[in-house]
Amino acid sequence: MYTVTKRMEVSAAHHLVLDYESKCEHLHGHNWIIYVTCQAEALDRNGMVVDFKKIKELVHAKMDHQNLNDVFDFNPTAENIAKWICDTVPHCVKVTVQESEGNVATYEL
């Protein structure tokens, strides 16, 4: 089994829709640090699981310098973002989304 992991940073704004009072209901921004892990039993004809560049492009095209509430049809929590990335990137098996030093969410198959 081959495994690759791409680390990238995404700058974006969001607010959360919650059923309790929270400062996160107000528009704010993060420099998310995101790790995307992909696996394959066999490499493609270029000798890759997935091109690191393609992984970043897929995530950045949707999220970077965006208001995530405008581009997603779900509440943009770190958990939901991690799931969306895993569903979007080919061969993805695990995504870790770090909002800040102490706040990290992981989705994996």
Ligand X SMILES: Nc1nc2c(c(=O)[nH]1)N=C([C@H](O)[C@H](O)COP(=O)(O)OP(=O)(O)OP(=O)(O)O)CN2
- Residues taking part in catalysis: 24, 65, 99
Q: Interface with ligand X includes 77 (CB under 6 A)?
A: yes
E strand or H helix that includes residue 59:
helix 52-63
Q: Is 14 annotated as a binding-site member?
A: yes
33 binds ligand X (CB under 6 A): no
β-pair type (28-40, 92-100): antiparallel
Among 5, 54, 88, 99, binds ligand X (CB under 6 A): 99
Residue (7 or 28) nearer to ligand X, CB = 28
In a 13 Å sphere around the CA of 16, the CA atoms on its Cβ side amount to 13
Q: Considering beta carbons, is residue 50 or 97 the nearer one to ligand X?
A: 97
From first CA to last CA, the distance across the chain in angstroms is 15
- The length of the chain in residues reads 109
Applying CB under 6 A, does 103 fall inside the site for ligand X? yes
Segment interacting with ligand X (CB under 6 A) among 42-50, 54-62, 65-73, 100-108: 100-108
- The interaxial angle of helices 78-88 and 52-63, nearest 10 deg, is 130
Give the type of residue at 3: T
Q: Which residues are annotated as a binding site for Zn(2+)?
A: 14, 28, 30
Q: Write out the residues near ligand X by the rule CB under 6 A.
A: 16, 24, 28, 77-79, 99-100, 102-103, 105
